[in-house]
Chain A
Amino acid sequence: MNRTFKTDCIGYALFAILLLVVIPWAVSFDGFALNTYARYLALGMVAMALALSWGYAGILNLGQAVPFALGAYIMAMHLKLQASAHMPGGLPDFMGWTNVEALPWFWQPFHSLPVTLIAGIAVPVALAALLAVFMFRGRITGVFVAIITLAFLVAVQLVFIEEQRYTGGQNGLTGLAPLQLLGWRVDNYSTQFYYLVAVCLMTSLAIGLALVRSKVGLVLKAIREDASRVRFFGYDVARYETLAFCTSAAIAGWAGMLYVLVLEFASPTYMGVAFSLAIVIWCAVGGRESLVAAALGGIIVNLLEGRLSDMFVDGWTFFLGALFIVVVLVAPRGLFGLVQSAVRHAGKTIRSERGGARARWLATGMGARRIDNGGR
């Protein structure tokens, strides 16, 4: 067990305690507060998904909101169909207003919950895989990935707004039924629901950590540092990048499904440029080199937003903008980087004191031959 693995385990355990014990206890199991926190956790989850591709593989995906919103829409479609069961032909209300005669074929499968749950992850992954293969086979990197994903995001959002007959357009999907999960009617203001979201976050985090701790994770980190060199070693760089991109999309789609359960509507703002860049902000604030830190970043920034925007409506946006500039300029590695360097600094101080004693011991001539590797 090496040190970074130990750090990961400690971080994961502390995070689990925070989510499963500290937060519910701090709000004394109040349903409304837990719903708010469930929202933060879903957003933390998508920030964590971005850290997987941005922090580990160096793929800055400015369109991270696309898989998130797709997951959200798919879940919302299922719930909308449940809510419209008593309507003529089971048609959702907005389709009636826009003269849609029959339920379109791509809405049909979402009557079934298992299909919805699978599609909520599979559809974002399929789309991400398409885009990833398209980009990474062409060895597109860095800034160009950022621009392509940004343009893709804008295009997808335009499609969803334009196809009002099928997607609810600007209004999105509202008036959703509560989810029926194995006979349990999910109440999004209940403690159980909070734990459902928390467990999903912990599970996805475990999956993410398993990926980055594996050999794949090591190759991804190598690609981030120098893609050509990894290619010379015979690795198929595009395949690894696609894997990271798709895993990230899967978790984002999952987070999107949870997000709809929390908020009870899906809206095209979920795939807006502002939202997508906000995900990047959360990830950067927490620290993109650590999955736990990125998730925490999403939770902290949204928590602050919830608190501060109540007090100062305009002030919050100023704060957000300033926060972003300061983080990039002063702490490009986020809170994680700050904590890490603080810990290292503390460790160094302790060690240098020990080192002093050792130096005196060496000075007596007892260990003169070992002086070369004595320092650390």
Chain B
Amino acid sequence: MDAFLNQAFAGLSMASILLMVALGLAIIYGAMGVINLAHGEFVMLGAYSAWLLQTSLGLGILVALPIVFLMVALVGLLVERGVVRWLYHRPLDTILATWGVAILLQQLVRSVIGSESRYVAGPTILDGNLVLGGVVMSNYRIFLIFFSLAVVAATWFLLKRSEFGTKLRAVIQNKEISECYGIRADRVYALAFAYGAGLAGMAGALITPLVSVTPSMGTYLVVDAFLVVIVGGVGSLLGTVAAAGMVGEATAMFSMLMNDTIGRIAVLLAIIFLIRFKPMGLFPDKVRR
């Protein structure tokens, strides 16, 4: 039983990481229809920003978080203005162009910083474990779970309650008409993309204590994050949360029953089936487009 609960916690922890990575993607893909394969590289840039701020300025991850968010959001803004904005009417081509961006960003980091893996210390306040019966939970992982839910809440507020969110939803529904009402659609798109990139960067910074930081760390994350977004249903925040939870838990459970790799394979196959039978995701957005 304890083994099961420990594994369930591991799954939850994995889900929280996936959720933060996927949330940015959910906005970029859900709102703009852009398949952003450079999303993993935004995560990687976030991780490196955290490493840079810690080694050069001595800032802890939590303090550095807003700075990382802004730095990666800026990169996202540049990518949107430079590449993505020409491709809104060609969704398949965004896969190719953003993969080019991914190659560039990876190589940039590799050339400037080097390809050896880097380690970032976690925040000292969150050291230690919470032990409940036989279940050992690292404080940092618990923090991540709550933090990711807080980020979802903030994003929900931004999309549904703020002026920016209203504009974004208007542009998603009908770009031309919103422009007639004086909304600058290209600016809204650019900011939304930057916000998604910033979220990815923040996720990257937060996972640095758990994984080693390498230039290619994003490649694995982007595929998983994509699957989460698709499973959750395009344009549905709640769906993304549920899907992240499901993918995280399913991977953890399959891994316990079989082994890590087989677990991942089983989840991938399950997702292929899901896309085949429910291409709109489990929780499709009801908004007419």
Contact = CB atoms under 8 A, between A and B. Distances in A.
Given A146-B35, A321-B100, A322-B100, A158 B83 contact: no
Nearest to B97: A328
B277 interface: yes
B107 A325 contact: no
Given A148-B272, A151-B223, A154-B268, A314 B107 contact: yes
Interface in A153-171: 154-155, 158-159, 161-162
Interface in A126-184: 134-135, 138, 140, 142-144, 146-148, 150-152, 154-155, 158-159, 161-162
Interface stretch (A106-114, A235-243, A261-269, A273-281): A273-281
Given A142-B92, A158-B261, A323 B100 contact: yes
A324 B100 contact: yes
A284 B91 CA distance: 15
A155 B261 CA distance: 9
Contacts of A143: 35, 91-92
A332 B87 CA distance: 11
A332 B93 contact: yes
A147 B100 contact: no
A314 B265 contact: no
Contact of B275 (A147, A162, A277): A147
A280 B97 CA distance: 11
Contact of A151 (B101, B102, B107, B272): B272
Contacts of B90: 332
B276 interface: yes
B268 A155 contact: yes
A318 B100 contact: no
Given A151-B272, A322-B104, A140 B279 contact: yes
Contacts of A144: 230, 275, 279
A100 B219 CA distance: 33
A150 B96 contact: no
B200 to A, nearest CB: 18
Contacts of B230: 144, 147
A147 B25 CA distance: 14
A314 B110 CA distance: 9
Contact of B265 (A60, A148, A158, A323): A158
Contacts of A162: 261-262, 265
Interface string B126-168: 0000000000000000000000000000000000000000000
Contact of A138 (B100, B111, B226, B276): B276
B111 A314 contact: yes
A152 B276 contact: no
Interface string A309-339: 0000010011011111101110010000000
A18 B102 CA distance: 34
Given A60-B92, A274-B219, A318-B107, A155 B269 contact: yes
B95 interface: yes
A142 B91 CA distance: 9
Interface string B202-229: 0000000000000000010001001100
A321 B103 contact: yes
Nearest to A152: B272
Contacts of A142: 91-92
Contacts of A320: 100, 103
Nearest to A144: B279
A135 B227 contact: no
Interface string B78-94: 00000100110011110
A321 B104 CA distance: 5
A158 B269 CA distance: 12
B169 interface: no
B277 A281 contact: no
A162 B275 CA distance: 25
B254 interface: no
B119 interface: no
A284 B99 CA distance: 13
Nearest to B273: A134
A317 B261 contact: no
A280 B271 CA distance: 23
B104 A159 contact: no
B137 to A, nearest CB: 28
Contacts of B111: 314
Contacts of B226: 147, 150
Interface in A47-77: 60, 62
Contacts of B96: 280-281, 284, 324, 327-328
Interface in B246-275: 261-262, 264-265, 268-269, 271-272, 275
Contacts of B277: 138
A146 B226 CA distance: 11
A310 to B, nearest CB: 17
Most chain A CB neighbours (cut-off 10 Å) among B86, B90, B107, B269 = B107
16 contacts: A60-B95, A138-B279, A146-B92, A147-B227, A148-B275, A151-B223, A151-B275, A274-B219, A277-B99, A314-B110, A314-B111, A321-B102, A321-B103, A321-B104, A323-B100, A329-B97
Given A143-B91, A323-B100, A325-B100, 4 more contacts: A151-B223, A314-B107, A325-B104, A329-B86
Give the top 3 A-B pairs by smallest Cβ distance, nearest first.
Answer: A324-B100, A321-B103, A321-B104
Interface of B: 35, 37, 83, 86-87, 90-93, 95-97, 99-104, 106-108, 110-111, 219, 223, 226-227, 230, 261-262, 264-265, 268-269, 271-272, 275-277, 279
